[in-house]
Amino acid sequence: MKKSISKYFNLSKAMIAALILATSSTDFVSAQATEVKTAVGTTKIWGTVDGVSVIGLVQGPSAAAADLQIACVFEYTEGDIFNPPALPKDLNGMVHLDEALKGIITDVRKSGKFQGHALETLLITPPKGSLASKKLLLIGLGNRNSFDAELMKEVGSVAMREALRLKVTTASFASDLKDAGIDSPTALVAENVVLGAFDAYRAQSYLKGENYSDNLKLKKLILLAGPAFFTTAGGGIQEAISKLNAKK
What's the pLDDT tens digit per position in 27-82?
333 333 345 799 999 999 999 999 999 999 999 999 999 999 999 999 999 999 99
Amino acid at site 64: A
Q: What pLDDT, in 10s, does the model give residues 160-211?
A: 999 999 999 999 999 999 999 999 999 999 999 999 999 999 999 999 999 9
- Distance CA(120)–CA(170), nearest Å, equals 22
Asked whether 214 and 162 are in contact (CB, 8 A), the reply is no
Count the residues in the chain: 248
Asked whether 172 and 70 are in contact (CB, 8 A), the reply is yes
Q: What pLDDT, in 10s, does the model give residues 73-120?
A: 999 999 999 999 999 999 999 999 999 999 999 999 999 999 999 999
Asked whether 164 and 201 are in contact (CB, 8 A), the reply is yes
Q: Which backbone phi and psi does 32 adopt, to 5 degrees? A: -65, -40
CA neighbor of 60 nearest in space, from 192, 224, 178, 222: 224
Residue 35: per-residue pLDDT: 53
- Distance CA(13)–CA(8), nearest Å, equals 9
DSSP string for residues in 104-151: HHHHHHHTTSS---TT-EEEE-PPTTTSSEEEEEEEE---GGG--TTH
Establish whether the linkage from the previous residue to 85 is cis, with ω within 30° of 0: yes
CA neighbor of 137 nearest in space, from 225, 237, 92, 70: 70
pTM equals: 0.85
Q: Hey, which residues does 221 pair with through a beta bridge?
A: 54, 171
Q: What pLDDT, in 10s, does the model give residues 211-225?
A: 999 999 999 999 999
- Distance CA(79)–CA(82), nearest Å, equals 5
- Distance CA(153)–CA(197), nearest Å, equals 7
- Distance CA(52)–CA(66), nearest Å, equals 14
Helix (H) or strand (E) holding 48: strand 43-49
By three-state DSSP, how is residue 194 classified?
Answer: helix
- Distance CA(136)–CA(174), nearest Å, equals 11
Characterize the bridge pairing of strands 133-140 and 52-58. unpaired
Amino acid at site 79: G
Q: What pLDDT, in 10s, does the model give residues 142-174?
A: 999 999 999 999 999 999 999 999 999 999 999
Amino acid at site 43: T
